[in-house]
Structure 1
Amino acid sequence: MTDLKLKTHQMIDSLKTICANFGLGNDGNEFKIITQVFLYKYLNDKFAYDVKAIDKTLANYGNDWQAYYTQMSDDEQELLYLQLPNTAILKPHHLISYLSVRQNEAGFANLFDDTLFDIATKNAELYAVKTDGGAKVVLFERLSQYISDPSKRDEFCRAIINKISGFSFEHIFNQKYDFYADIFEYLIKDYNSNSGGKYAEYYTPNAVARIMAQILVPDDQRGQLKSQSVYDPSAGSGSLLMSVAHIIGEDKCAIYTQDISQKSSNLLRLNLILNNLPHSIGNVIQGNTLLNPQHKEKGQLKKFDFIVSNPPFKLDFSDFREQLDSKENQERFFAGIPNIPKTKKESMAIYQLFIQHIIASLKDTGKAAIVLPTGFITAQSGIDKKIREYLVNNKMLAGVVSMPSNIFATTGTNVSILFLDKSNRDKVILIDASNLGEKIKDGKNQKTVLSIVEENKICETFANKKAIEDFSVVVSYDEIINKNYSLSAGQYFDVKIDYIDISESEFNTKMQGFEQTLSDLFEQSKTLEKEIQNSLKTLVFKS
């Protein structure tokens, strides 16, 4: 696996080099080219793997299986396609091997583009992402169009085909998720900066994703759940969803998402394909969740078993605020809608709307985990407090984990994870994990990295509702009300006073010592004052 992982990274690096050689280095279209070529390679090899598993004759042909596949009749091919398990259907002329043989023909760029477009069209039902306007965004674009000089397009497409035809992914398709996560993270790592387009905003750290998933689905429930719906209203690249889906089981859950960003929707589609969840791509919506939520049943918001979200914290939504402040949204946004500030509209607390939307989208037995600014858990007025009052008064709170600072390298905002559980009528656990983790440099930024031991400590403490000195407390809803609805663990920690046995004479001796020390310091201060004043008198002006 290590060797294949290395080859995969080398292939991605090679695609970046090709883009640079043709003038597309750090170009806004470079990421599209690399991800779509990578996806074409992945689908090609996944198709080969699946058809060989179905038809043993194809498998017996080994590396020459394409020749036998090409000679199959239309009826034989159709029978083969019917047995494919959520895999893209590739005709013989769609295969990399077919394009490789024809790469020296004139107009190869057109053939290359037509092939990818044909694959996207024929597999649109499985792989297209829908927009809230009803349009379908298919898998592939015409990639050679990004080369401004038409005379260089054939050469560009030839270079791509030669780089992706040298090895196969086939023998690793039964491996575990971590390998695919590594590929995905490696694929976007160079785009996690402003120069590459802020892709970091679409990626939640793996440690945060794992903690959220493990707390939402504890050990005693794993393997027991079936037909679960998992939703993220601001999905980004989908790392939170992947973590939950893998714990529940890819075949035991359906993913539902919405995100306003076209970039994030494309990243999410790639992530679903890489993580054996293509059956959920039809539930991916590109659009404004707050203004136009698309997942509905009988005209009402669809309710979900699990919801995870790392919503944007601050964002200017003044252009559509008035549309949100309507009678039909009063129930959904029960705590109110943030006002438009006179200055810094970009500081509008949009996360407050996402929390309320999540509460409205949760089943009566549902659970949710939401990343929020830590200020939310203690604010003593406004929408934040109204939401906390609602959660406590309706007994739907599981707990809070306050994370270390800089757990996200791209923001200095302290964050906490809010856990909701509509079935939790009893105790609530509050964890202060702010002192955990190791500080490391990440480029120009500093971030905090949790060890696996520390992740497990957080999850086990939460699952067992265990009180640990200066780390966690277990409180009742009434205790939270008495603390003015604060969800900060630190406000519930016992104040400890250390007492030392001492006699009256020892006490008097210590006090005399303190008084003498203080007198000596006062005398030194007077001496220094005189010295400073005398020094100032010696200063003269010189022109």
Structure 2
Amino acid sequence: MNKQQLANKIWESANKMRSKIEANEYKDYILGFIFYKFLSDKEVEYLKRNGWSNEELPELVEDDTETVDQCKDSIGYFIAYENLFSTWLSMGKSFDVSNVTDALSAFSRLIGDNYKKVFDKIFDTLQTGLSKLGETSGARTKAISDLLNLIKDIPMDQKQGYDVLGFIYEYLISNFAANAGKKAGEFYTPHEVSLLMSEIVADHLKARDSIAIYDPTSGSGSLLINIGRSAAKYMDSNKIQYYAQELKENTYNLTRMNLVMRGIEPANIFTRNADTLEEDWPIDIESYPPVLRVDAVVSNPPYSQQWTPDGKDSDSRYAGYGLAPKSKADYAFLLHDLYHIKPDGIMTIILPHGVLFRGGEEGEIRKNLIERNNIDAIIGLPANIFFGTGIPTIIMVLKQNRDNSDVLIIDASKGFEKVGKNNKLRSSDIRRIADTIINRLDVPKYSRKVSRDEIRNNDYNLNIPRYVDSSEAAESWDIYASMFGGIPNSEIEALSDYWNAFPQLRGELFKPISDEYSDIASEDIKKLMYSHQNVSQFFSRYNDAFSDFSEYLHKELIDNVTSMAASKEEAILSDNIFKRLESIELIDPYEAYQILDDNWTKMSADIEVIQTEGFDSVKKVNPNMVIKKKNGKEVEVQEGYFGHLLPFELVQNVYLSEELNNIKAKENRISEIDSDIEELFENLDEDSKEKSFVNDDKTAFVAAEVKKAIKAKDVEEEVLITLKSFDKLSNEEKELKKAIKELSAALHLKTKETIENLTDEQANELLHEKWITPFVDQLNSLPENIVSSLCSKVNALADKYKITFAQVDEEIKDTENELSAMINELTGSDFDMQGLEELKKLLGGI
């Protein structure tokens, strides 16, 4: 299975397994054991590279001081054979919780002196929490055994393992965060927000040979890891140093585990378990004052937390800016981050949007930041994007030295997708924001570069709506057009982007009726639009731009499937699509990018399997195992097969269409029979529906009773004909279902054999159909969507003023007159007639 499938399986099992333990606590156990497995497997891998064989591993004992010292010096720790993760798995029923506690104690004793900062007390959270896994030793042993078997299949090797391991670890963290309520905010920044910050920072640092990055509220370490991954696209990953500080011990351990498991050299990891605001980072250098200066700081500090500003007046972090109020430490964290970046560095910080406009001490700090030209950009994020809180948030980008003096303000609050209870940035949203920041773009209703003078004139208030209005224009109604008809030219002009792209189309869609108003020129708007030369040329330009795209994708993805650098391929495809769209008006390249990303998620999972298992993995099938109850117990049984990579349905459509169509024809015939039987039943009279050949609900025939009635011939001739017709159709349906079952079973086995006997050329053809055909089809729908959207907008304009108030008023008068005339025909008592006369007056009747 690919890494996503493996991650899903582990999460589902872990969630069932945790019983009454809170998700926020249970994460410490499962993630702790994953980390122990990583260290254990890494030691075995190291020893094998240095001449050890599997047969020699049992000789791995503490008494072998030479090997112990070698491991401690090279990888930072030593684990004896009896304490290896693989040994635990092999112990079977003799495994006990004491094996774990003994192993964790031994690990603490056997850390290399140069690696204490990375590994010291890293398993304390796991070790002290084991008691919560069960009330008895036996219960704890079973719970741990279940955990070990759950994670045993996660690969840890350097070739593929770091990517898979990191993916699963991050996936589990994010799922635990989503299920941990408000506590989640303490340790996890959503991956999409982290990725956005990473792209901004990595672009700023891309020309450097080596960098140091720092997160003073590191949580799970995901922000640092994503920045390092993005920066590694431009430099040697071993030239990146990671600094992390975290207040809470269990979360601090999470940071260290996460960093180590990504294959980051321990020599590049610097971590502290301390209060960032109270205990600034010390560093031993021969300068005064001793200050940690890094290329980038990223952080997602706790929002509006209380702190102690007393005695901080002399703290150089806040000098020249001011002290944040006691009730809200947001600007204290920001100034701490800013203080630690180099003159040419960059920082990004997530904060509640209140920091943009709150007054008092915060207003003074904001003023000083603007006057010192530190604020580079502000990004307004969608609400409800973080786990456990729905408050609106922003990302602020700051620098010590800047070439420009304006502030780029982006309102990205409208770009997201709904996922469960939360909003989530899409890949296209991330790309749009990052491109806007990197290129400092002014985009109507989205972003604007704001001068310092304008900000001064607004009394240093940075509230985003003051500068960028992203709201949709409220629909207005033209009074004259509403009364007398016609379409206001101003509302037609609002579609100017379309008219710029289709310059002659407007003149043929609308005919002027005055200087200010026009009317629709044709009743069939859709026909006129799709047959127009401008629209035809638009489709042609798009088709020309993408005429060879399918062939390009085949060469890029399929011909090079085993050798491509998969981690960089999406960026290559993206650049190609953006370049093709440069000359195509109206089409949003970010919409195309989202289509790419959605498809790439599926393609990359297959590519990962092919590159790991070889190209023959395309020709593999797997047994389809399902859980069923047997004798009161759940057992796993096989129900057919499924393609390892190729869906059976795809293979059938391409190579077994005749057999597939035969089955579909029989299924269609069954649908026809069902309709015919339904019609026969509806034609029965009510008396017949009381007979025994109709079910108790009076909704259907009873087949066995129908046969008896036919044989007895004790019904009217017309009913007998109906029953015989039903019986014939019922027998035909039964035969068809039997045939379909047999044909489906045969087709299933034939599909299995077809996949297993594919030639390389056929396998490539099927990969093309799975990956490229749907992707290209979705991209090709973009110009159609544009024209369809314009058609809908023009139709809406036409309908909006089609019926005037004058017409409505005339219809009301006609209706009143008709009703009044009808009243004249009525008779009744004197009181009735008086009432009717009064009603006629109200209707305007005579």
Identify if the C-alpha distance between structure 1 residues 356 and 505 changes in structure 2 by more than 3 Å, giving closer, same or farther: closer
Structure-2 change in CA distance of 1:173 and 1:113 (3 Å): farther
Whole-angstrom CA distance in 1 between matches of 2:92 and 2:468: 70
Contact 2:380-2:413 within 8 A present in 1 as well: yes
CA distance in 2, matches of 1:404, 1:168: 35
Aligned-residue CA RMSD in angstroms?
4.2
Deviations 1:120-174 (A, max 9, x none): 33126566569xxxx9533342665446755526744772586268546244654
Alignment pair present for 1:44 and 2:58: no
Which of 185, 198, 206 is 2:171 aligned to? 185
AA aligned to 1:114 is D
Residue-by-residue CA offset, 1:297-338 (whole Å, 9 max, x unaligned): 555442222111111122233xxx26x334433762644445
CA 1:71–1:303 in structure 2 vs 1: closer, same or farther (change >3 Å)?
Answer: closer
Distance in 1 separating the partners of 2:298 and 2:135 = 45
- 1:40 and 1:357 map into 2 onto residues whose CA distance is 34
Cα distance per residue 1:240-296 (max 9 Å; x no partner): 111111122342222222222223212212211222235268622222111222334
Q: 1:245 to 1:159 in 2, by over 3 A?
A: same
Alignment of 1:363-402 (within 5 A): 363-379=342-358, 381-402=359-380
Select the residue among 394, 402, 405 that pairs with 1:416: 394
Aligned residue among 57, 68, 72 for 1:66:
57
TM alignment of 1:151-190, pairs within 5 A? 151-152=137-138, 155-156=141-142, 159-160=145-146, 163=149, 166-167=152-153, 169-171=155-157, 173-174=159-160, 177=163, 180-187=166-173, 189-190=175-176
Any unmatched runs of 5+ in structure 1?
341-347, 508-512, 518-543
Distance 1:94 1:142, change over 3 A: farther
Distance 2:151 2:441 in 1: 54
Match of 1:199 in 2: 184
Please state if 1:263 is matched with 2:250.
yes
Name the counterpart of 2:292.
Answer: 302
How far residue 367 of structure 1 moved from its aligned partner, in angstroms, is: 0.8
Alignment partners' CA distance in 2, 1:156 and 1:126: 36
Query: What's 2:108 paired with?
Result: 120
Normalised to the residue count of structure 2, the TM-score between the two structures is: 0.50
Q: Could you tell me which residue of structure 2 aligns to residue 94 of structure 1?
A: 83
Whole-Å separation in 1 of the counterparts to 2:376 and 2:331: 19
AA partner of residue 358 (structure 1)? D
Higher relative contact order (CA 8 A, sep 6+): 1
Q: CA deviation at 1:203?
A: 0.9
* Separation of aligned partners in 2, 1:391 and 1:150: 58
Aligned to 1:524: none
Counterpart of 1:522 in structure 2 is none
- Residue aligning to 2:435: 460
Secondary structure (helix, strand or coil) at the match of 2:314 reads helix
Residue among 448, 468, 484 paired with 2:423: 448
Q: Distance in 2 between matches of 1:458 and 1:165?
A: 37
1:226 aligns with 2:215: no
Work out the CA distance in 2 between the residues paired with 1:147 and 1:121.
25
Which aligned pairs between 1:2-41 and structure 2 lie closer than 5 A?
A: 2=2, 6-7=5-6, 10-11=9-10, 20=19, 25-26=21-22, 30-41=26-37
Q: Quick check: 1:234–1:257 contact (8 Å CA) kept in 2?
A: yes
| C-alpha contact 1:406 1:414 (8 A) present in aligned 2 | yes
How far 1:201 sits from its partner (Å)?
3.0
Q: For residues 147 and 186 of structure 1, do their structure 2 counterparts lie closer, same or farther at Cα, with a shift above 3 Å needed?
A: closer
Q: Given residue 110 of structure 2, which amino acid in structure 1 is its aligned partner? A: K
Please state how far the C-alpha of 1:436 moved relative to its aligned partner: 1.4
Displacement after TM superposition at 1:419 (Å)? 0.4
After TM superposition, give the deviation of residue 357 of structure 1 in Å: 1.6
Output the amino acid matched with 1:432.
D
Residues 524-535 of structure 1 aligned to structure 2 (within 5 Å): none
Out of 303-312 and 172-181, give the one that drifted further. 172-181
- Cα gap change, 1:178 to 1:416, in 2 (>3 Å): farther
- Is 2:408 aligned against 1:429? yes
Residue 538 of structure 1 corresponds to which residue in structure 2?
A: none
In structure 2, distance between residues paired with 1:494 and 1:479: 16
Mapped to 1, the partners of 2:328 and 2:384 lie a distance apart of 20
> Does the CA contact (< 8 Å) of 2:376 and 2:397 recur in 1?
yes
Distance 2:341 2:331 in 1: 16
CA contact (8 A) 2:43 2:78 kept: yes
CA gap of 1:17–1:116, structure 2 versus 1, over 3 A, is: farther
Cα separation, 2, equivalents of 1:247 and 1:372: 22
Alignment partners' CA distance in 1, 2:247 and 2:427: 33
For the 8 Å contact 2:41–2:85, the answer to whether it is kept is no
> Which structure has more helix as a fraction of its residues?
2
Greater alpha carbon shift after TM alignment, 170-179 vs 476-485: 170-179
Q: Which residue of 1 aligns with 2:221?
A: 238
Kept after mapping to 2: 8 A contact 1:314/1:351: yes
Q: Verify the 8 A CA contact 1:310 1:371 in the aligned structure 2.
A: yes
Per the TM alignment, residue 415 of structure 1 is displaced from its structure 2 partner at its CA by: 1.2
Match status 1:328 vs 2:319: no
Query: Are the equivalent residues in 1 in contact too, given 2:313–2:319 (CA < 8 A)?
Result: no
Indicate conservation of the 8 Å contact 2:218/2:299, yes or no: yes
- Choose the corresponding residue for 1:139, options 123, 138, 143: 123
Closer/same/farther in 2, CA of residues 334 and 505 from structure 1, 3 Å limit: closer
CA distance 1:80–1:300, change in 2 (3 Å): closer
Aligned-residue identity in percent = 20
What is the match of residue 99 of structure 2? 111
Q: Which residue in 2 is equivalent to 1:215?
A: 200
User: 8 Å contact 2:324–2:330 — kept in the other structure?
Assistant: no
SS of 1:217's equivalent in the other structure is helix
Residue 290 (structure 1) aligned to one of 272, 277, 281: 277
Structure 1 residues 334 and 136, CA, compared in 2 at 3 Å: closer, same or farther?
Answer: farther
In the alignment, the residues of structure 1 paired with residue 139 and residue 335 of structure 2 have an alpha-carbon distance, to the nearest angstrom, of 50
Whether contact under 8 Å (1:308, 1:369) holds in the other structure is: yes
Structure 2 gaps, min length 5: 474-487, 494-511, 518-803, 809-846
Structure 2 Cα separation of the partners of residues 412 and 161 of structure 1 = 33
What residue identity is the alignment partner of 1:325?
A: G
Please tell me whether the aligned partners of residues 215 and 463 of structure 1 are also in contact (alpha carbons under 8 angstroms): yes
**Do 1:436 and 1:454's aligned partners in 2 also have CA atoms closer than 8 Å?**
yes
AA of the residue aligned to 1:203: Y
Equivalent residue, structure 1, for 2:446: 471
Asked if structure 2 preserves the Cα contact closer than 8 Å seen for 1:16 and 1:25, the reply is: no
Helix, strand or coil at the partner of 1:474: strand
Structure 2 letter corresponding to 1:199: A
Q: Which residue number in structure 1 is paired with residue 573 of structure 2?
A: none
Cα 1:349/1:279, change in 2 over 3 Å = same
Contact in 2 for aligned 1:371/1:418 (Cα 8 Å): yes
TM-score by structure 1 length?
Answer: 0.74
Q: Which moved more, 1:140-149 or 1:208-217?
A: 140-149
Query: What is the letter of the counterpart of residue 85 of structure 2?
Result: I
Contact 1:225 1:248 in 2 (8 A): no
The 3 A distance-change label for structure 1 pair 503 and 393 is: farther
